[in-house]
Amino acid sequence: MLSTSWVFWALLSAVFAALTALCAKIGVNNIDSDLATFIRTLVILGVLGMILLITGKFHETRGFNMRGCLFLLLSGLATGASWLCYFRALKLGDAARVAPLDKLSVVFVAILSVTVLGEQLSLKGWLGVLFIGLGAILVSLG
């Protein structure tokens, strides 16, 4: 049975993100970073297509609306841009320095979720965001 804990899935995501950085750095070594991003995208499309096919979720249209689709489209464009930039950075720099800077997205998400979505963070939460930002910068400079 799959865990329903968001913490479980977030930590698993972090593990896979770490593997992504290592595998991508090795894979992009002798190939154009944009082509590497395209190959990665094809793999993701294939895997997700198989998951949707096997689980019968291709027919799940409940909840579709234009606003949601627009924001999913924008999210897809942002993901593509992020991947292109990430692979370019990996091509040019060390994975141990690129990945921490990429994690500054945590800082940006905190700021944007508060200003755009109206979410709230405690003082302890903001301190954590500050330390993540400082840590990412320090690791990338080291």
In a domain, 98, yes or no: no
d(CA 74, CA 81): 11
- 7 and 48 share a domain? yes
Residue 27 shares a structural domain with residue 89: yes
The predicted structure's pLDDT at residue 1: 61
Pick the closest to residue 89 from 77, 105, 74 (CA basis): 105
- Claim to verify: residue 2 and residue 60 sit in the same structural domain: yes
pTM: 0.83
Residue 2 in this model has a pLDDT that exceeds 80: no
Q: Are residues 111 and 63 in the same domain?
A: no
What's the total number of domains in the chain? Answer: 2
Residue 5 located in a structural domain: yes
* C-alpha–C-alpha distance, residues 29 and 94, integer Å: 11
Q: How would residue 9 be classed by pLDDT, with cut points 50, 70 and 90?
A: confident
**Do residue 3 and residue 33 come from a single domain?**
yes
pLDDT of residue 60: 79
**Claim to verify: residue 88 and residue 108 sit in the same structural domain:** no
Q: Output the six-digit token pair for 56.
A: 């019968």
- For residues 113-133, give the mean pLDDT: 97
Q: 4 or 78, which is more confident? A: 78
CA distance 79 to 91: 18
Q: Mean pLDDT of all residues in the chain? A: 92
Residue indicated by tokens 């991003």: 37
> Region 125-135: what's the mean pLDDT?
97
